[in-house]
Structure formats: structure tokens, C-alpha cells
Amino acid sequence: MSLVLAILAFLSIGIGMAVGMFGGGGSILTTPMLVYIGDFDPKPAIAASAVLVAVTSLIGMIQYARAGQVRWRTGLIFGSAGVTGALLAGQVGQRLPGNLVLVLLGIMMVITAIAMIRGRKEMHAKHHDGLPLFRILLDGFVVGIATGLVGAGGGFLVVPALVLLGGIPMQAAVGTSLLVVMMKAIATFVSYRITFFGDGGFAAVNPETDFDWGVTLIVIAFAIVGVFLGVKFATKIHPDRLRTSFGWFVLIVGSFTLLDKSHAFTAIFDFAATSVLDLVVVIVFFLALVTAVAVLVARARRDKEENLPDELETMSDDPDLVEDPY
């Protein structure tokens, strides 16, 4: 085994552990790992990453399902909405310049890292008189778009959504998240590998997303080992400290990705200058991105206020003395 493959194998174990422990986090590092170490182009790296995440999520989900920690109905509803978003966004992503997709991935990595570092010391599952179906479908669709566009960024959003919207305990939310992540990864792979309504007719394989299956299978094999380790540790240790460390590592890699591919921002203007339609697409995309971030921030603040434990709220009238559960 060459030095490059050895490094990829070692890092893949860590990626698998992240999937097993956190219910996500694999694809956020798999794509840059394949680009910078495996010498993959961005789009093939996203397609290969989707295969790895689908397989590792399936393995992890089986382990959680054996312990009764997968809520199938909620997961399938959330995942179905995510699949729809991933299929649509993947078609957009495969038509964008590869370096631009890496810039978007870098942005997603930084957002994910901040969420991991900030963390949630405690989240309480809420009781619902029936599932808030519209919220679950909407959140699933938005997360699917984020995942399908850059092939990453779903897991850290899915787990809290399942806890707060689905009323699922944390451990079961991690197991259910693996079901959702697996479904979205399959959709991302299909949407990146197949171009719909293109020059090749209704559907045609996209040659720009061809990748090295040999290297990918080696990475997957070692990642599966990591999944088993991650699931085992997830039931024995509190993952907050590890999640914070993982978050800092993702932040470093995401920042490097942004700085390394900063010249790709010029691709936005080149793309927009092609035609009026492309300019409209760019404007609509950025408006949608800003709106999505604003909505997520507003919901995070609202969920934070609603999720304060009652006993902490009644301990003191001074808000500075109330412990922040996040």
C-alpha cells in the first residue's frame, strides 16, 4: 500500500468514527480528503464521498437499529424530503464550476464547525401531539439542498431537528439521523452521476463525475472499521469534548479550503456574465442562501429559548444567573 493510500486509510477510520458517534460528519471531511490527498477533482470527490457516506451510514444505522434506537417513521419522512432537496441541488451542483463547489463546501464546513464547537450541552426532546409534519418536511428539504449541492453538511443539522421537532431522545436521534443521511447520500450520488434533462436526453451519466473505484473502496473499507469503533464509543463516553475537537479540526480544514480556492469566487462573476438567465440564477441562489441562513439562525435562537429547562428558568429572576443549556 502506497503512502497516500495509507494516509487515506488512517483518516477514513476517523471519518467512520465520526459517523458512528455523531450520526453524521463523514462527508464534511471525505470530500476535501479525496481532493487534497487522493488527488480527486471536486465533483468526482463529491460523488465518491456520497458512496462512502451511504455505506457507513447504513452500517452505523444497523448497529443502532439492533439496540432499538432508530425511529423509522420520522426518519423516512425527514429523509424523503431530504432526498427531494438533494436530487434538485445535485443537478445544480454538477453544473457549477468545480472550484466554486469547493468554496461552497468550505462555507458549509465553517458553519458546521462553529455549530460543533458551540455545541449543545443538553437538548430535551419535546412532546408533540402528533408529528409537526410541515416543519419536518421543510427542514428535511432544506437540509437535503445543502447536502445535495456540496455533498456534505447534513448530519449536524439532522440530529437537533429530530430531537426538537420529532421529540426523539438524543441517542435515538443519532441512530435515526444515520437513516436520513444514508438516504440523502444515495440521492446526492445519483444526482451527481446522472444528468437529467441535458444534451444526452432525459437522463445520461455525467463523465465529469467519474472517479477511482479502487481507492474509494479502500477508503470505504477502513471507514466501516471506524463506524464500528464509533458506535461502540458512543454508548460508553460522553462525546462533547470529542465533538468540540472534531469541530476545530473541521474549522481548520474548511478555512484552508476557502483560502486555497478563494480565486474561485471570480467564477461566480464569469458564470453570471454568460447570459441574463445565468445572472438571475446567481442572484436567486444568493438570496436563497441568505434567507436560509437567516431562517436557521432565527430558529436556533427560538429553539434555544424554548428548550431552557423549567427548573433553570425558575431558579432566578436574573437572566445572567440562568445557566445556558447550549
Amino acid identity of residue 178, one-letter, is L
Q: What is the pLDDT of residue 321?
A: 37
List the domain boundaries for the chain.
Answer: 3-259
DSSP 283-325: HHHHHHHHHHHHHHHHHHHHHHHHTS-HHHHTT-S-GGGS---
User: Residues near 311 by Cβ (< 8 Å), separated by ≥ 6?
Assistant: none
Torsion of CA 157, 160, 163, 166, to 10 degrees: -30
pLDDT in tens, 55-110: 888 888 898 899 888 889 888 998 898 899 888 888 888 877 777 788 778 887 88
Q: Would you call 121 helix, strand, or coil by DSSP?
A: coil
pLDDT in tens, 116-130: 777 654 555 555 555
pLDDT in tens, 203-219: 788 888 888 999 999 99
Residue 36: Cβ-neighbour burial (10 angstroms; 0-12, 13-18, 19+): middle
User: Residues near 58 by Cβ (< 8 Å), separated by ≥ 6?
Assistant: 178, 182
Looking up cell 471519518 gives 15
Cβ-based neighbour number of residue 302 at 10 Å: 11
Looking up cell 458549509 gives 108
Judged against a pLDDT cut of 50, whether residue 304 lies above it is answered with yes
Judged against a pLDDT cut of 50, whether residue 47 lies above it is answered with yes
As given in the structure block, the three cell numbers for residue 205 are 451519466
3-state helix, strand, coil in the chain (%, to 5): 75, 5, 20
Beta strand residue intervals within 64-208, DSSP E: 194-198, 201-205
pTM: 0.72
